[in-house]
């Protein structure tokens, strides 16, 4: 059983996780999830759904959350690199509306845990990225929620890239946090 390094962020609940990687001239091996090891580090969540997305450079997905049946997400990149962001939407949190970001890549093998009560999004920095999610709850499309990726009150500092930002119609038209704060149940 391999160990992990868990780094707390300035926002309670958001953590960066680095697995032990065992490599030689043939390649590498790493354990990406072990329930006992995670519990030993205080990460006692249960995952019930896995997702994967593939995106090209400049794609920005987010900032998403579930209005009901919130999902915690353990995310990592298996190809390429992204700038990954969690935004605290917990009304009673001292860090409400604040964000934290980390680069996730197939090179650094870092993972990011975004708990329930957070919005989540990422920007693809490489030519292509394959992004993996382990989720603590099932996705319910009828409770899909989001906030604008460039909300001036949240003020995420997205990295500059040498191509345009590519957004879905949904993400281009997400509301600002100020406009939905009374609807949040976290």
Q: Is the Cβ–Cβ distance between 2 and 19 less than 8 Å?
A: yes
For residue 46, what is the domain's CATH number? Answer: 2.60.120.10
Q: What's the pLDDT tens digit per position in 99-131?
A: 999 999 999 999 999 999 999 999 999 999 999
Which domain covers residue 70, as residue numbers?
A: 4-183
Question: What is the pLDDT at residue 86?
Answer: 98
Which is the catalytic residue, given 28, 41, 64, 100? 64
10 Å Cβ neighbour count for 95? 16
Torsion of CA 161, 162, 168, 170, to 10 degrees: 50
| Average pLDDT rounded to a whole number, residues 55-60 | 98
Omega before 14 within 30 of 0, i.e. cis: no
Active site residue 28: no
10 Å Cβ neighbour count for 40? 14
Question: What is the pLDDT at residue 1?
Answer: 63
What tokens does 132 get? Answer: 């993996």
Q: How far is Cα 101 from Cα 176, in angstroms, rounded to an integer? A: 19
- Domain tally, the chain: 1
Q: Which residues pair with 61 in a beta bridge?
A: 122
Active site residue 133: yes
Which is the catalytic residue, given 33, 96, 133, 140? 133
């Amino acid at each position: 059983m391999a160990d992990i390094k868990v780094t707390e962020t300035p926002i309670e609940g958001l953590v960066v996780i680095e697995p032990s990687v065992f490599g030689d001239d043939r390649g590498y091996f790493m354990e990406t999830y072990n329930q006992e090891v995670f519990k030993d580090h205080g990460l006692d969540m249960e995952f019930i759904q896995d997702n994967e997305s593939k995106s090209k450079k400049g794609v920005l997905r987010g900032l998403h959350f579930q209005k009901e049946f919130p999902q915690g997400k353990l995310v990592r990149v298996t190809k390429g690199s992204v700038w990954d962001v969690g935004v605290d939407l917990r009304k009673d949190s001292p860090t409400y509306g604040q964000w934290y970001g980390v680069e996730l890549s197939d090179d650094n093998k870092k993972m990011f845990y975004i708990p329930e009560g957070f919005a989540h999004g990422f920007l693809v920095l490489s030519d292509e990225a394959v992004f993996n999610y382990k989720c603590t709850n099932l996705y319910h499309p009828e409770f899909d929620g989001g906030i604008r990726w460039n909300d001036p009150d949240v003020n995420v500092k997205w990295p500059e890239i040498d191509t345009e930002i590519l957004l879905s119609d949904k993400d281009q038209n997400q509301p600002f946090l100020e406009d939905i704060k009374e609807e949040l149940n976290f």
